[in-house]
Structure 1
Amino acid sequence: MERLGKLVEWNDARGYGFIVPIDAPGQRYFLHVHAYRRMGRRPEVGELLRFVPERQADGRWRAVDVARAVSVAHRQMRATTGRQRDRGSPYTWLPPILLALLGALLAWAAWRNRLPALLPAGLLAVNVATFAAYWSDKRAAQAQARRTPEAMLHLLELLGGWPAAWLAQRVLRHKSRKERYQLAFLAAALFNLAAIALLLIRNTVAG
């Protein structure tokens, strides 16, 4: 039978904690992180949880099939509010504009026969590397393994991998909520776009 309880203790480093049922404050149920339906997050002390009690072989009780006790309506409301906030953020609408400008610059340089031969191949290589770095960092975050330094991700973006970084942020849902990180990402994208524009303009004028 499913019960409602509060997470009163949590050791994030070891991935376990204890739940106290709302209707029986004297009881404690062991919770392992593998029994927690994460929904992209970790357990937090004080949150209400729905769980199913299960007796272990040693006679003690544990919680299985554990999930946050949040109503469907509340989740939908938060999702709607989040989408509206995201649509109005420059971190959402500015990168596609920058990507369109990059495409226009490359097309213009190709039309004028002034597109450096190595530039498209170089951009392709750094974007593949950037997406792979984001994917690896996302996996490491989920497994609590060694992470890719943010400075390395920003360096890849600065070298021209920002389109893949933006795509990875949307597809993998990684690094898309940290405002400080997003600000550095946009700065890297703008700097790289300006550098490419200057290179193509000077190459066209020189030709």
Structure 2
Amino acid sequence: MERLGKLVEWNDARGYGFIVAVDAPGQRYFLHVHEYRRMGRRPEVGELLRFVVERQPDGRWRAVDVARAVSVAHRQVRATTGRRHDRASPLTWLPPVLVVLLGALLAWAAWHGLLPAPLPMGLLAINAVTFVAYWIDKRAAQAQARRTPEATLHLLELLGGWPAAWLAQRVLRHKSRKENYRLVFLAAAFVNLAAMALFLIGEPIAA
């Protein structure tokens, strides 16, 4: 859930500071410059910011996906520009291409009798678990409760749950803005797809 706050402290040399939420003036949230949508400028003490709260591994809260609280018209222009940039990014258009490749690989293996019977059920199971894990983490983020570690989500993706992870990112709008996270997700998808291709195609080649 997006919140509104004021930047009350900023160390520009070290690139971090603290935000105080408007609805909770006694709570300070850590802000790193990497989480600030710069728009060609640096954070300034006293400015109003929109942000999402996320729990750090040490249990403390931090502000992520931080941007200036600007006019509605400015927000609409920025949102439109952001959507265009997102659609042009390989992080957006490549995952569905990989899903199609996975479907084609499984169909080819089934047609040639190379698809092990437990594999489709195993893929369904791991993808169901992955989607539920994303949903639980989304609910936890909204409730500011204990989060699912990102390493756990990436492990599920690597084990074959990456199609459901991509679907959850689009449907639940969760983990869909963090570029670093999406890069690791895409790497997990590539590794899993390559391993499955070697497993399914490698047997007839070896024979």
Scaled by the length of structure 2, the TM-score of the pair is 0.68
Q: CA deviation at 1:72?
A: 3.1
Residues 35-57 of structure 1, C-alpha deviations (whole Å, 9 max, x = no match): xxxxxxxxx963189xxxxxxxx
* Secondary structure at 1:134 match in 2: helix
Q: Which amino acid aligns with 2:75?
A: R
Unaligned runs of 5+ in 2: 9-18, 27-44, 51-67
Higher CA-based Rg: 1
Query: 196-205 vs 122-131, which deviates more?
Result: 196-205
Query: Quick one: which of 16, 24, 44 aligns to 2:24?
Result: 16
Q: List aligned pairs for 1:14-163, cutoff 5 A.
A: 16-17=24-25, 46-47=47-48, 70-163=70-163
Q: CA deviation at 1:17?
A: 2.1
Distance 1:125-1:176 versus aligned 2 partners, 3 A rule: same
* Secondary structure at 2:25 match in 1: strand
Distance 1:17-1:104 versus aligned 2 partners, 3 A rule: same
* Secondary structure at 2:81 match in 1: helix
Q: Tell me which residue corresponds to 1:180.
A: 180
Whole-Å separation in 1 of the counterparts to 2:108 and 2:124: 18
Whole-Å separation in 2 of the counterparts to 1:8 and 1:186: 34
Query: 195-204 vs 162-171, which deviates more?
Result: 195-204
Whole-Å separation in 2 of the counterparts to 1:174 and 1:48: 21
* Secondary structure at 1:176 match in 2: coil
Q: CA deviation at 1:206?
A: 5.9
Q: CA deviation at 1:173?
A: 1.1
Count residues with an aligned counterpart. Answer: 158
Indicate whether 1:203 and 2:203 are aligned.
Answer: yes
Q: Which amino acid aligns with 1:91?
A: L
Q: CA deviation at 1:132?
A: 0.5
Residues 16-51 of structure 1, C-alpha deviations (whole Å, 9 max, x = no match): 129xxxxxxxxxxxxxxxxxxxxxxxxx963189xx
Whole-Å separation in 2 of the counterparts to 1:8 and 1:83: 27
Unaligned runs of 5+ in 1: 1-5, 19-43, 50-67
